[in-house]
Amino acid sequence: MAGAPDYSDDVFFNEVDLDAHSAKTVESEAIEFFPTDYRIGRTKYIFVTGGVMSGVGKGVFSASLGHLLKHYGFTVSQIKIDGYLNQDAGTINPYRHGEVFVLEDGTECDMDLGTYERFLDDNLNRNNYITSGRVYRIILDKERRGEYLGRDVQVVPHVTGEIKNLIRTKAHEGPYDILVVEIGGTVGDIENIHFIEAAREMLYDEGRDNVMAVHVTQVPYNASAGELKTKPTQHSVKALLQLGIQPDIVVCRSAIPLNKSVRQKISLFCNIAEDRVVSSPDTDSIYRVPALLDRQETVQIVADKLNVNLPQRTDQRPEMFDIYLKYLSGSHPEIRIAITGKYTALHDSYVSILNALDHSKVAVGAEITTEWIDTTDFSSDQALDEGMLDGISGIIVPGGFGERGAEGKIRFIQYARENGLPFLGLCYGFQLAVVEFARDECGMLEAAHAEFDAETETPVIYLLPDQRKLTGMGATMRLGGHEVKVKVGTEAHRCYGSESAVERFRHRYEFNNQYRELIEHKGMVFSGMTPDEEIMQILEIPTHPFFVGTQFHPELTSRPYRPHPLFRGLVQAALTYAESAENRQVAMEAGQAE
Ligand code: GLN
């Protein structure tokens, strides 16, 4: 009779008691890494990995995907994972790794979180950012508390388990419909291998309906052959397969759009349906990316894969970033804005400033070209080469640390103040504007900033009282969102249209109130401060067309649909300045012609 085979005589089954055997040798391997009340399937996960090379734009892709999913009506959040052993980005030099972004809760993190906040139009928190250092800190602390008693603590399951727990904690916090988790670096890096393993485990633990994988690669263009080359992508997907992950979507970054045959090749070699090979060619604006993904039905693919119904598309914003698309198709008067700084060679160090300018230029209707001025080699007695500022209609002095470049920045601030050139000083820029004003307008020739002259007798900027006893580095500055009380009738008040704002800070030094009376007497106004009026947070000079400094970083909270009011104020003032310079020029030429 046909049927189930009879194994009753099988030696293995008769002689070995499997349960008894396992009980004697090891305890259960199954360690649960779930937050309390966590329900599998409530949140769906999209893991984004990168291949071929770093810097292909995974951050912009992840943010665009988040934006798109939110636009369709899902509740969404995003996590950025970085492989390095730093616990956060607080001690990382922006010249090496790009800007340090600061969240409302004071977390110092990777600049990708800035892109997420701008695209999601949402405030993120500490749970949106995971580094190896943070994971290891949790594990080492637990081990010392005896929480793994009796066990050897291993990469699998403990490290991967803690990673899964952190990811699930963020999901549970919403709870969100979808969490986009971007794993930094490239597949094959030793640094991020435990994160990719955690993603693989989650694909299994939570099920294929609840977790999917997207791989973003670069498809190089071979100009002499006139074609896109798919081989690096094939290799990269194979590397991911070796780690146990079959991507569900491959996003191909390239100089030109993929054609059908390139899609077919990638489809065949990477086990992916042709319509799941998404083309992401270079564009003139990152704000085009969501619409570009939408045209390839990315959300439909995601919904299909994750087995969810597509919610109605929200109609509040008829087109994604429509104001940008409209702006890009028009023509606008051009203005040039100078940015001074140490890290001018690496624009990623100032990425939020560039974004804030972008938001404002769309709102104001101007084309902005940025000019970078490296102030590193200036000495205090060196005269300014004013030719450097020809054609410039606004100047930004950004945040910074240490002595290098400070005197140079002071020269540019002085020029802006004396010549009615619109100026915005950010954090260090605010502090240096005080030093310049004290020296030049208040007769305090030796006025200095304690950060570069600890011995000065006139420290107009000095260490915050809380900072004086601190010795450690990392997460020790005055960080995150704090309230600013805005003085009625000032430029700041005109810009904000409100008497209070929450702004993000990252500093150790502050204005020394001992000099407040003298400085205000000479015409500088502190138009923003803490509600208790202890810490000065915005300065301005009312007789100047636009001279504003902020102890906080307004660039961090500027959003595509809500440009930061002070950036907008600067751009508007720069446009007016440029137009009046043009009028002066026309008048002069007319005068000469007569
Ligand atoms: N170095 C200055 C301080 O610590 C300014 C910091 C900054 O520009 N973010 O206060």
pLDDT by residue for the chain (594 residues), tens only, comes to 445 556 555 544 445 454 544 444 445 655 678 999 999 999 999 999 999 888 888 999 999 999 999 999 999 999 999 999 988 888 888 777 789 999 999 999 999 999 999 999 999 999 999 999 999 999 999 999 988 878 899 999 999 999 999 999 999 999 999 999 999 999 999 999 999 999 999 999 999 999 999 999 999 999 888 899 999 999 999 999 999 999 999 999 999 999 999 999 999 999 999 999 999 999 988 999 999 999 999 999 999 999 998 876 665 554 677 888 889 889 999 999 999 976 656 778 899 999 999 999 999 999 999 999 888 777 767 777 777 888 999 999 999 888 888 888 999 999 999 999 999 999 999 999 999 999 999 999 999 999 888 888 999 999 877 777 766 776 678 899 999 999 999 999 999 999 999 999 999 999 999 999 999 999 999 999 999 999 999 999 999 999 999 999 999 999 999 999 999 999 999 999 998 887 777 777 777 666
- Identify which of 333, 313, 317 has the alpha carbon closest to the alpha carbon of residue 325: 317
Pairing relationship of beta strands 277-281 and 249-254 according to DSSP bridges:
parallel
Atom 8 in ligand 1: residue holding the nearest Cα: 399
**What whole-number distance in Å separates Cα of residue 362 and Cα of residue 366?**
7
Q: Which residues line ligand 1 (CB under 6 A)?
A: 399-401, 427-428, 451, 506-509
Dihedral of the alpha carbons of 224, 225, 230, 233, in degrees to the nearest 10: -10
Give 419 Cα–ligand 1 centroid separation in angstroms.
26
Instruction: Name the residue of 432, 508, 510, 512 whose CB sits within 8 Å of the most ligand 1 atoms, as the mutation to test its pocket.
Output: 508
In this structure, the number of other CB atoms found within 10 A of the CB of residue 329 comes to 7
Measured at the CA of 563, the angle between CA 560 and CA 564, to 5 degrees, comes to 140
- The distance in angstroms from the start CA to the end CA of the chain is 116
Atom 1 in ligand 1: residue holding the nearest Cα: 401
Give 383 Cα–ligand 1 centroid separation in angstroms.
26
Q: In terms of residues, how long is the chain?
A: 594
Residues marked as catalytic: 427, 553, 555
In degrees and rounded to multiples of 5, residue 40 shows phi and psi of -60, 135
Atom 9 in ligand 1: residue holding the nearest Cα: 399
Instruction: Name the residue of 342, 343, 505, 506 whose CB sits within 8 Å of the most ligand 1 atoms, as the mutation to test its pocket.
Output: 506
Question: What three-state secondary structure class fits 373?
Answer: strand
CA 314 to chain centre: 26
Tokens encoding 65: 């995907």
Query: Are 164 and 202 in contact, with CB atoms under 8 Å apart?
Result: yes
Q: What atom in ligand 1 is closest to the CA of residue 401?
A: 1
271 Rama sector, left if φ>0, alpha if ψ -120 to 50, beta otherwise: left
Q: What atom in ligand 1 is closest to the CA of residue 510?
A: 10
Query: Are 388 and 331 in contact, with CB atoms under 8 Å apart?
Result: no
Pairing relationship of beta strands 227-228 and 221-222 according to DSSP bridges:
antiparallel
* Long-range contacts (CB closer than 8 Å, 24 or more residues apart) made by 510-514: 510/461, 510/462, 510/463, 510/464, 510/535, 510/536, 510/551, 511/431, 511/434, 511/460, 511/461, 511/535, 511/536, 511/539, 511/551, 512/459, 512/460, 512/461, 512/462
In degrees and rounded to multiples of 5, residue 266 shows phi and psi of -65, -40
Give 423 Cα–ligand 1 centroid separation in angstroms.
18
Give 506 Cα–ligand 1 centroid separation in angstroms.
7
Query: What is the residue type of 116?
Result: Y
In this structure, the number of other CB atoms found within 10 A of the CB of residue 4 comes to 5
Question: What three-state secondary structure class fits 22?
Answer: helix
Give 535's DSSP letter.
S
Instruction: Name the residue of 100, 102, 507, 553 whose CB sits within 8 Å of the most ligand 1 atoms, as the mutation to test its pocket.
Output: 507
Q: What atom in ligand 1 is closest to the CA of residue 553?
A: 9
Give 508 Cα–ligand 1 centroid separation in angstroms.
6
**What whole-number distance in Å separates Cα of residue 438 and Cα of residue 553?**
23
Element spanning 526, H or E: strand 525-529
Give 464 Cα–ligand 1 centroid separation in angstroms.
11
Evaluated on CA atoms 95, 97, 100, 101, the torsion sign reads positive
Where would I find the H helices in 373-500? 406-419, 428-441, 491-496
Q: What atom in ligand 1 is closest to the CA of residue 426?
A: 8
Q: What atom in ligand 1 is closest to the CA of residue 509?
A: 10
Query: Are 293 and 65 in contact, with CB atoms under 8 Å apart?
Result: yes
